[in-house]
A = this chain, B = another copy of it.
Amino acid sequence: MSATAAGRLRIGELAELTGTTPRTIRYYEEIGLLPGGEREQGKHRSYSEDDVERVREIIRLRSLLGLSLDELSTLLEAQAARADLGRRFHQTDLEGERRVILEQALEHIQTQLALVRGRRNELEKLEQELLERRRTVRGALGDIDG
């Protein structure tokens, strides 16, 4: 049996699973991006599977879309707030309010999709140029051989 508490991860394990470093995890906690790993009966931080997902999300949005950590925390806070409200309204069934929340969520998703597509277009242009260069080089190699 593992000696670690059931399903809990240490900071080094979380770092490895997300392809980053313990220092980065601590930094994200320091600036309030991560909800500070619980210190269970010791001084060591301990994390859950949800934390793995959150760190992955942070890294993905930061490196793929080039968002600053400041922009990211705004974005993630808004997402969390909506999820929270969404859950409450789901219970109380206030349909008018639920619609407002859902429409806000939709808008945020559209914004992110626009960002993703802009990046993808740039990447595709770069790929086309590289393919073009490759064709040229291959042609020159063919001339030597032919």
Task: Return the contact of A113 from the options B66, B117, B134 (Cβ within 8 A).
Answer: B134
B130 touches A113 (CB 8 A): yes
Which residues of B are found within 8 Å of A126, using beta-carbon distances?
Answer: 60, 64, 116
Q: A113-B134, A140-B102 are in contact. Are A122 and B64 (CB under 8 A)?
A: yes
A interface SS class: helix
B64 touches A137 (CB 8 A): no
B127 touches A113 (CB 8 A): yes
| A interface residue numbers (CB < 8 A to B) | 60, 63-64, 66, 95, 98-99, 102-103, 105-106, 109-110, 112-113, 116-117, 119-120, 122-124, 126-127, 130-131, 133-134, 137-138, 140-141, 144
